[in-house]
Amino acid sequence: MLTTMKDVLLTAKKHKYAVGAFNVPNLESIQAVISAAEELQTPVIIQHAEVHEKYIPLTVIGPIMLDFAKRATVPVCVHLDHGSSFDLCMQAIRLGFTSIMYDASAKSYEENFNETKEMVRIAHAVGVSVEAELGHIFTSAIGGGEGRGAVGAEDFASLEDCYTDPETARKFVEGTNVDALAISFGTTHGVYLTKPRLDLNRITEIKEKIDIPLVMHGGSGLSDDDFKTAIHNGITKINYYTYGTIAGGEQVANILETAHDEKLFYHDIVLAGIAGIKANIKSAMQVFYHSIL
């Protein structure tokens, strides 16, 4: 059943679990994520990232995402992830997406604040939830996928310059009226090349300042305990993609390796990919929703 991000996240916040938000740049990913959520009977967010336009455009994948969401037996939010262009955000809203992330975090604070506030005004007028980002989330050189190249702690004078400041977050949320805020506390988009330097206490400090759902980007690769601590401290939405799609690729590699001289049908490769993604996503969901499963 199609629902909004605000609805699923407020319920998660109340019951102290996190909703998994999974990028789905193809039909197989959609099938894997929805199937995993239905088996566990958990709400889920399926996302199209603007950077994935090179794989499949929003106009093609969006209607498919919405169709699966409407027919699902669990609540499904259909979300635009890291929408940095006004036109694509408007396109998602017109298609029927129930939430968008407007990402102006790479701009100055003033630009981020003013542009986000205007996007919230437009989206809320038609019942669409809005997520924003404050701070700088690291991006690895492998699979970072946010279109900015590799960004690490060495790119900043200090970690304080990239982590989300609690008081700034309070002012930003009160002034823009966003429904959810992605915060920076040391996670990384893509494959972890070194051990992440997490400031999990910062989540609690921000939560004490603002009473809206907090979002973790760059969630792939953390330990189960890291996830559980982040959720306990206030994280309510977790973006997850890289390690799920790697699991799908590994399953495909396995079937190719064992085929030898046998005829291999493409549909068997597709099914192997779905199975690999689904197994990985299901394991992640069991951590995110551990308080209710």
Give per-residue pLDDT as tens, 1-11: 999 999 999 99
pTM (predicted TM-score): 0.90
Residues of each annotated binding site for dihydroxyacetone phosphate: 190, 218-220, 239-242
**Fold for the domain defined by 2-288:** TIM Barrel (3.20.20)
CB atoms under 10 Å from CB of 238, counted, come to 26
Q: How high is the pLDDT of residue 192?
A: 47
Which burial class, exposed, middle or buried, applies to 13 when counting CB atoms under 10 A from its CB (0-12, 13-18, 19+)?
buried
Residues comprising the binding site? 82, 103, 133, 189-190, 217-220, 239-242
Low-confidence ranges of the chain (pLDDT < 70): 137-161, 188-197, 220-221
Angle of helix 266-288 relative to helix 27-40, nearest 10 degrees, comes to 40
**Strands, E, within the chain: which ranges?**
2-3, 19-23, 44-49, 76-83, 99-102, 129-134, 138-139, 180-183, 188-189, 214-216, 235-240
Catalytic residues: 81
Position 198 scores a pLDDT of 82
Binding residues for Zn(2+), by number, are: 82, 103, 133, 189, 217
Q: What is the pLDDT of residue 161?
A: 62
Q: What is the pLDDT of residue 191?
A: 45
**The pLDDT value given to residue 138:** 54
Q: What is residue 140's predicted lDDT score, i.e. its pLDDT?
A: 43
Whole-number Å distance between alpha carbons of 182 and 213: 9
Q: Is 151 helix (H, G, I), strand (E, B) or coil?
A: strand
Provide the pLDDT for residue 160: 55
